[in-house]
Structure 1
Amino acid sequence: MATSAECADERGQEGPIRCIFFSEFHHIAGPKITCQVPDNFVSKDIFDNVSVYIIPKAQLQRSTITVTLKEFKILGFPVRIDNKKYARNAFYFNLCFVCDAEARTVHYEPVVKKMSEFLIALEIENCFLSASGDKTRLAQMLQHVMLDLNMHKMCTLTEGTMTSHLKVVRQAPEPKPILDHQVPIFLEGREAFQSDQWDLTTQQVLPYIDGFNHVARIAAEADVENNLVKSCVQNLVYYGVVTLIPIFQYSNVYATTPKLKKLAEDVELQDKCVAYASKSLRQPAYLRDIYRMYASMTHGSSMRDLCQRLNPQNLRINERRLVQFGLIEGLIRRIYKYPIHIPSNSTEEGRTNPIYKYFTGAFNLDEICCCIGQSVAQIEEIVERDPNVVMLWK
């Protein structure tokens, strides 16, 4: 069993709420569950084993607490209301959501807290929780919340003159740091994006996001400091507005992934692909030609070789958008080149050219190009001249 305010397993999948229960501290009987839906989902034996975390010490009051058991996970927000009208001068309670043990629950934390605050207000206003042993109305409320949150991810609670709106907001993991050579691309059409909802720096950067400009180029063309551009792009990635793909060049090599099979089976994906990769919607490309181009992408065959062999222009295919769509949907992946300098009787150039510090196998050609401002062809020429430098493809 693990307990922590941040114990939720970030690697788990989001799952439904299995149970909601209300527990309180009885001045004679101690901690107990006084209402739960469905009934008896959490047994008395299990509750007794974890009750010290459900109704905890004062230091943990009003903190999100997660208790992970073998079968399920309990998420709560323990509360104490101080008032001399209560036995022991305080009323202790905890509203808890119960999910599967492996489920991700971090997105429920704000909901549990907000609903607890609603119950606090009801208790202070009219002793809604403590006045009677009859918890029928509370049970109806818990049932309503569980059904609506599971089905619609939102719920409205009304009791007397008080109303509270609950909503489950998916919390995406923090995006990885943005690199100079990465290319942001809109996941939906640019026309669906409302730029006036974003800050001024993001609005300045947006016109240069076209699926081909890498971050360093966007910074230069937008005349915005590089780290600010990275922050803007990272924010857009977090909210699912853009994703990141590699720089497109005809010297690039791509390879198919197992997801290409989905293109042969999913009609909706096929329609999206044809619309995205065709030169003109009036005369769309044939799916068989698009599929053949994807299937021809393999190690050792550059995009230039592929275009010379299959002539996508005659097939009404926009090869640049074809690659974009394949990368976004995971149908293909980029094969990167990593130069590695093997110490030997180093050439004079190896001792003097600062580019050699990048020939460690940790930097691909895209990264090196952005760092030193040279083209892929220039770097490959250096590699070709020096027998002590080898190229790793992966």
Structure 2
Amino acid sequence: MTSDGDSFLPRIQSVFYATFDDKKGRKIVYQVPEGLIGASPLPGESISKYLFNFNDISKYVIPPPALCGRLVTCATRNHRLIGYPVELRGKYERVYFRCNLCFVFERQADLSCYEPIIRKIARVFTACEEESGFLSSPQKSAAIPAILEQLYEDLNSYSETSISIDAFNSIELKIFPFYPNPTPVKDWMVPVALINLSRRIEPNWDLTMVKVCEHIDGVNHVSRIAHLADCDLDLAREAISHLLYYQVIMMIDIFQYSNMYTLRKSVQWLADEPHVKDECGPYVTRTGKPVPDWPKLLHLYSRLKVGKTVFEWMQEHDVLDDGIDVRRFTSFGVIKGFLRRVHRWPILLKSSESPSNGHTMLTLLDGEHHTDELCSKFEVGWPLLEQWLIAAGDGKGDGDYGRVAIIHR
């Protein structure tokens, strides 16, 4: 099973070249594939057959001079464009010549890896125009469609290309994915592999990295992995941070039957995604048990809510009788992004009286440390930690924590 947030290079939906025509104004001169981007629709013609209407975004493709020489992105209902409009001045009929080569992607695509690509193409095209009038000459610009075709095919298929324009200029491109810095790795977090790590280990890998990977099973949290791998905790955190950076693992919470979960709004559209429906049953069902259908599983997910622990949910719905592996059931929802863990954040309320319990944990009851962190720090489970919280707040138990307030969020 893989997460819904896997990062791949976004696919180019279309490449087009636009200019400002002296008589017709802004227009697309060439596009690949042909006919995907429409201008003003003819009477009775539906615009729905196009990716979008060029006239709706033309002022951003060929913008005023202030935006020329800058990276410009704009979005339509379903797509996003990125280009680098250029204005050249010289012996032109209108004194200036404006053009832009744009890539079109799906709206949610991350375009950071294409920004240097667009800038380089603009630089090469500008140099060619200044040297030989490559863009403004009708004879020489006839080579542009072939360039667009090769950009579209090579970058989508190989993430690189080499295009010779003339004897002195060429376009040499290679796309490198940009990965954001990973979130800080905490001791109580549980790494989950998104690929088969054992198959990727090579003899020249760092020894700590190899030992850490051996204990990433979706159950062990970071501090336990460091203990099992017999390595320094800081080194284990660093190794896991490297794996996070390359997006081959993701982090989830420690599973305990005292955990609470609730649905995210994304379940509204994820519930109809075929890959979610097809993967869920086989993943969350124990070996040898019949796989429940998706409506049954979705109903069980909908019964998870704030204030109800996993154990209470199991008892109420006889989950074990359905052959469901509860840990995998909750982790599937978290990994796919439609289930959210609800943490307990204990706060020791201010009082003139001194706490009857002198445990060092009291200094951490400030609403900034949730119970997973406290369990990991003091190497205890929730039942014992709960008793400590009751004692710290002079409570009576059974939900009464006295001067310790528990915030669920």
Whether TM-score is above 0.5 comes out as yes
Q: Any conservation in 2 of the 1:250–1:304 contact (CA below 8 Å)?
A: yes
The worse-fitting range, judged by mean Cα deviation, of 340-349 and 258-267 is 258-267
What secondary structure is seen at the aligned counterpart in 2 of 1:272? helix
Q: CA deviation at 1:307?
A: 2.7
1:265 alignment counterpart: 272
Task: State yes or no: 1:360 paired with 2:375.
Answer: no
Q: CA deviation at 1:375?
A: 3.0
2:42 alignment counterpart: none
What secondary structure is seen at the aligned counterpart in 2 of 1:300? coil
Task: State yes or no: 1:135 paired with 2:150.
Answer: no
For 1:157, which of 141, 162, 178 is the aligned residue?
162
Once residues 328 and 147 of structure 2 are traced to their aligned partners in structure 1, the CA distance between those partners, rounded to angstroms, is 50
What secondary structure is seen at the aligned counterpart in 1 of 2:261? strand
Q: 1:99 to 1:331 in 2, by over 3 A?
A: same
Percent identity at matched positions? 23
Query: 2:234 corresponds to which letter in structure 1?
Result: N
2:309 alignment counterpart: 302
1:147 alignment counterpart: 152
Once residues 290 and 20 of structure 1 are traced to their aligned partners in structure 2, the CA distance between those partners, rounded to angstroms, is 49
Q: Any conservation in 2 of the 1:36–1:139 contact (CA below 8 Å)?
A: no
Q: CA deviation at 1:294?
A: 1.9
What secondary structure is seen at the aligned counterpart in 2 of 1:156? strand
Query: 1:179 corresponds to which letter in structure 2?
Result: K
2:379 alignment counterpart: 373
2:407 alignment counterpart: 392
What secondary structure is seen at the aligned counterpart in 2 of 1:339? strand
Q: 1:227 to 1:134 in 2, by over 3 A?
A: farther
Once residues 222 and 45 of structure 1 are traced to their aligned partners in structure 2, the CA distance between those partners, rounded to angstroms, is 55
Once residues 117 and 146 of structure 1 are traced to their aligned partners in structure 2, the CA distance between those partners, rounded to angstroms, is 15
Count of equivalent residues: 349
Task: State yes or no: 1:206 paired with 2:213.
Answer: yes
Q: Any conservation in 1 of the 2:197–2:213 contact (CA below 8 Å)?
A: no
CA distances 1:47-97 after superposition (whole Å, capped 9, x unpaired):
69437963xxxxxxxxxx52579999875599xxxxxxxxxxxxxx99964
Q: CA deviation at 1:157?
A: 3.3
Query: 1:194 corresponds to which letter in structure 2?
Result: R
The worse-fitting range, judged by mean Cα deviation, of 205-214 and 222-231 is 222-231
Q: 1:219 to 1:77 in 2, by over 3 A?
A: farther
Once residues 330 and 304 of structure 2 are traced to their aligned partners in structure 1, the CA distance between those partners, rounded to angstroms, is 10
Residues 154-233 of structure 1 aligned to structure 2 (within 5 Å) = 154=159, 156-159=161-164, 166-190=173-197, 193-196=199-202, 199-200=205-206, 201-233=208-240
2:243 alignment counterpart: 236
Q: Any conservation in 1 of the 2:15–2:152 contact (CA below 8 Å)?
A: no
Residues 20-35 of structure 1 aligned to structure 2 (within 5 Å) = 20=17
Once residues 274 and 406 of structure 2 are traced to their aligned partners in structure 1, the CA distance between those partners, rounded to angstroms, is 40
Once residues 293 and 270 of structure 1 are traced to their aligned partners in structure 2, the CA distance between those partners, rounded to angstroms, is 14
CA distances 1:90-124 after superposition (whole Å, capped 9, x unpaired):
xxx99964468x9964321332466578779999x
5+ residue gaps, structure 2, are: 1-9, 21-27, 32-38, 40-53, 87-96, 394-401
Once residues 196 and 236 of structure 2 are traced to their aligned partners in structure 1, the CA distance between those partners, rounded to angstroms, is 21
Q: Any conservation in 1 of the 2:306–2:342 contact (CA below 8 Å)?
A: yes
Once residues 377 and 60 of structure 2 are traced to their aligned partners in structure 1, the CA distance between those partners, rounded to angstroms, is 62
Once residues 217 and 380 of structure 1 are traced to their aligned partners in structure 2, the CA distance between those partners, rounded to angstroms, is 22
CA distances 1:126-146 after superposition (whole Å, capped 9, x unpaired):
98969x884236423442245
Q: CA deviation at 1:391?
A: 1.0
Q: Any conservation in 1 of the 2:85–2:99 contact (CA below 8 Å)?
A: yes
Q: Any conservation in 1 of the 2:262–2:341 contact (CA below 8 Å)?
A: yes
Residues 236-255 of structure 1 aligned to structure 2 (within 5 Å) = 236-255=243-262
Q: Any conservation in 2 of the 1:253–1:300 contact (CA below 8 Å)?
A: yes
Q: 1:113 to 1:223 in 2, by over 3 A?
A: farther
Q: 1:298 to 1:361 in 2, by over 3 A?
A: same
5+ residue gaps, structure 1, are: 1-12, 24-34, 55-64, 79-92
Once residues 44 and 297 of structure 1 are traced to their aligned partners in structure 2, the CA distance between those partners, rounded to angstroms, is 49
Q: 1:67 to 1:216 in 2, by over 3 A?
A: same
CA distances 1:271-305 after superposition (whole Å, capped 9, x unpaired):
2011111111x543212553343232122221122
Q: CA deviation at 1:340?
A: 0.4
Q: Any conservation in 2 of the 1:273–1:325 contact (CA below 8 Å)?
A: yes
For 1:383, which of 378, 383, 389 is the aligned residue?
389
Query: 1:242 corresponds to which letter in structure 2?
Result: I
What secondary structure is seen at the aligned counterpart in 1 of 2:305? coil
Once residues 286 and 121 of structure 1 are traced to their aligned partners in structure 2, the CA distance between those partners, rounded to angstroms, is 63
For 2:290, which of 284, 290, 308 is the aligned residue?
284
Q: CA deviation at 1:207?
A: 1.1
Q: Any conservation in 2 of the 1:219–1:229 contact (CA below 8 Å)?
A: yes
